[in-house]
Structure 1
């Protein structure tokens, strides 16, 4: 719904864009109370191939060896901690959007039996590879 007044139209467009941005931010970085401490959930992609399932977890700057990965029932639990960079103590902060602290993400898995679990990193993602057992 657009108003005839240019200033009113621009203001309503700006409010609408901010509302969309907030909704997207909440969708990708949902804080939740799963343990006594507050945690955040990184976004994931789940890809099924003929011999494996790949879970790409958006965790830029996180060492895959520092990420806990375990199969619990029919889900994969990915958890860990993102520490604030040491430069943060002396920095003038202009923007701080990357979530810090404990993260957890429980990802439902496609039906099947899985064997080896491997972790690697590429393009800002921790990649969890679950080999299918025939």
Structure 2
């Protein structure tokens, strides 16, 4: 094999390897599709009596207008909405942000079948739900 043939072969092999590496890189670093909105789950307390189930969901800083879903489907309770980042002043410097914000969703599987949402009230940062047993 002449040195010219060897150079051509080495160059062709190098180009082929570069194309393969670029293809792998494109597959590995391809842009992700639309990202789901960031979510957090509020804590829940559940109490039961003979007639009803009471659910308390901690939602600090959430107004009732920010609740987007509140329903019982079968044996599952769904509460969803959004807590905006509080902005006391547009010029304020943020030093710490520990209270969750953004979209929230809480699904709770209830061990009692056939509950009906009888009432709800948002007071002092907590959502109080009354679920009647059918």
TM-score interval w.r.t. the shorter chain?
A: 0.5 to 0.7
TM-score where L is the length of structure 1: 0.64
TM-score, normalised relative to structure 2: 0.64
Aligned residues: 99
Contact between 2:74 and 2:113, CA under 8 Å: does it hold in 1?
A: no
Aligned 8 A contact 1:65 1:119 in 2? no
Report the RMSD for the aligned CA atoms in angstroms: 1.9
Larger Rg: 2
Distance change (3 Å), C-alpha of 1:131 and 1:64: farther
**CA deviation profile, 1:79-121 (whole Å, cap 9, x unmatched):** 0000112326321223211111100010111223223432112
User: SS of the residue aligned with 1:89?
Assistant: coil
Aligned match of 1:125: 126
Is 1:72–2:49 an aligned residue pair?
A: no
- Give, in whole Å, the separation in 2 of the partners of 1:85 and 1:40: 16
- Alignment deviations for residues 10-29 of structure 1 (CA, whole Å, 9 cap, x no partner): xxxxxxxxxxxxxxxxxxxx
